[in-house]
């Protein structure tokens, strides 16, 4: 009788244990289905940063974003962004001429703006900066206005007190050449396919092609035809051509990709991803989000990482929108990259190194290995800080 009672007690204990495990499994499954995964992180050793951790991914449609968390944060309050500088008037960007293109050690930022002649150039503008903090520029940031809309060609830092600077840019508005001269803040950074052609290829024709085609990933090995079940992209070549012929005859980037008439839900897609991202990252402990790894379908394609959570948050709204435009320009597949895929993507490259620098201001470094490219921007004074780190899986 006593043995029977003990067996019954053991069976009850076993049932309670199995029930508890079932509830936990169901909770985890529900979180995954809803897109709000548990707040767990995986340590990675990437790009020379051993304290980076990958948080669980946020997925919506064909876009997957892996938050990068770090307990280490640099003080980046001493830098001004392009959007801040243009909005405040600290920075003035004008069409370039042959005069006013030099830099003078005796330049006084309090003097009137220099005069320029009519020798405007497609791929070069003039930047006059009067700010009291070094100015941070990222490749792909859109300058709206002038004779044509342009994007910044390379990551760089403009020091305090610099004279009028020649600024390398690429046109993203093929067809317009108006009498306008002033540029304004656009709060837009172009999507990865266009940004890649500017930051890596540094070739105007490739930038125009990427604007007109949406995503250049359809040209890459394995993308076209690799997922026969994938739906065509929302920003198809035909839709872009139709938009150019109606709403954006000058092929203006923002009119092509922000026009309500295009019928592509950029805003609603962005809002949904942001809602999920905010929910997924709100409970992260022992660190803050400093960057992301981005995947389209099963392909890990992009990563932007910053020196501090504050700097990441400043760029996050326009970066997120750029990732969404790229997602809508790619085939709509249901395949998704894994945490292991993102972890592997972050590994440091060991390839050909190209470095450019301005003494006492910044160092720009590019590492190329196969179809992958790393680009980093490091300030040299007043502190040595790696402000931005970018990794790309080339589309061509």
- Residues 311-322: tens digit of each pLDDT: 999 999 999 999
331/236 Cα distance (integer angstroms): 9
> pLDDT value at position 44?
60
Nearest Cα neighbor of 374 from 344, 342, 349 is 349
Strand partners, 5: none
Per-residue pLDDT at 226: 47
Tell me if residue 377 falls in helix, strand or coil: strand
Residue 265: phi, psi to the nearest 5?
-80, 60
Rounded alpha-carbon distances, angstroms, from residue 326 to 15, 64, 98, 224, 318: 49, 12, 37, 15, 13
* CA-closest candidate to residue 189, choices 43, 326, 64, 54: 326
φ/ψ (deg, to 5) at 70: -140, 145
Provide the phi-psi class of 245: left if phi over 0, else alpha when psi is between -120 and 50, else beta.
alpha
- What does DSSP assign to residue 108? -
The 3 state secondary structure assigned to 311-339 is HHHHHHHHHHHHHHHHHHCCCECCCCCCH
pLDDT in the model for residue 272: 98
CA–CA distance, 52 with 68 (Å, rounded to integer): 6
Report, as ranges of residue numbers, the positions in the chain whose pLDDT lies below 70: 1-50, 98-120, 179, 218-229
Q: Is 111 exposed, middle or buried (0-12, 13-18, 19+ CB in 10 A)?
A: exposed
Strands of 206-351 (E only): list them.
Answer: 288-296, 299-306
Strand arrangement of the beta sheet that strand 80-81 belongs to: 80-81, 135-137, 156-158
Tell me the β-bridge partners of 46.
49
- pLDDT tens for 185-215 read 889 999 999 999 999 999 999 999 999 999 9
Residue 86 confidence (pLDDT): 95
């Amino acid at each position: 009788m006593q043995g029977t009672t003990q067996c019954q007690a053991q069976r009850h204990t076993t049932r309670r244990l199995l029930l508890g495990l079932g509830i936990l499994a169901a909770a985890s499954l529900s979180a995954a289905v809803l897109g709000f995964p548990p707040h767990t992180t995986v340590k990675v050793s990437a790009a020379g940063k051993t304290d980076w951790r990958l948080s669980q991914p946020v997925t919506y449609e064909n876009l997957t974003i892996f938050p990068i968390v770090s307990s280490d944060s640099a003080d980046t309050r001493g830098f001004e962004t392009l959007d801040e500088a243009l909005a405040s008037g600290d920075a003035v960007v004008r069409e370039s001429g042959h005069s006013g293109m030099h830099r003078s050690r005796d330049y006084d930022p309090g003097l009137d703006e220099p005069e320029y002649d009519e020798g405007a150039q497609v791929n070069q503008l003039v930047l006059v900066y009067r700010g009291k903090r070094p100015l941070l520029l990222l490749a792909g940031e859109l300058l709206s206005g002038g004779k044509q809309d342009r994007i910044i060609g390379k990551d760089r830092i403009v020091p305090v007190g610099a004279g009028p600077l020649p600024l390398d840019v690429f046109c993203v508005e093929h067809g317009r050449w108006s009498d306008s001269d002033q540029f304004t803040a656009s709060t837009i950074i172009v999507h990865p396919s266009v940004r890649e052609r500017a930051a890596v290829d540094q070739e105007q024709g490739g930038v125009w092609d990427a604007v007109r085609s949406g995503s250049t990933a359809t040209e890459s090995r394995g993308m076209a035809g690799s997922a026969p079940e994938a739906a065509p992209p929302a920003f198809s070549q035909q839709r872009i051509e139709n938009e150019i012929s109606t709403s954006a005859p000058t092929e203006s980037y923002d009119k092509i990709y922000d026009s309500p008439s295009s019928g592509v839900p950029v805003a609603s897609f962005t809002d949904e991803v942001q809602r999920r991202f905010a929910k997924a990252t709100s409970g992260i402990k022992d660190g803050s989000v400093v960057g992301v790894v981005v995947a389209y379908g099963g392909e890990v394609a992009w990563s932007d990482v910053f020196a501090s959570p504050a700097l990441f948050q400043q760029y996050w709204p326009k970066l997120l929108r750029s990732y969404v435009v790229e997602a809508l320009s790619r085939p709509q597949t249901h395949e998704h990259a894994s945490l292991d895929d993102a972890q592997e993507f972050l590994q440091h490259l060991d390839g050909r190194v190209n470095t450019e620098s301005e003494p006492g201001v910044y160092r720009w470094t590019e590492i190329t290995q196969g179809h992958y490219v790393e680009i980093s921007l490091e300030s040299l004074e007043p502190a040595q800080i790696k402000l931005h780190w970018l990794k790309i899986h080339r589309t061509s």
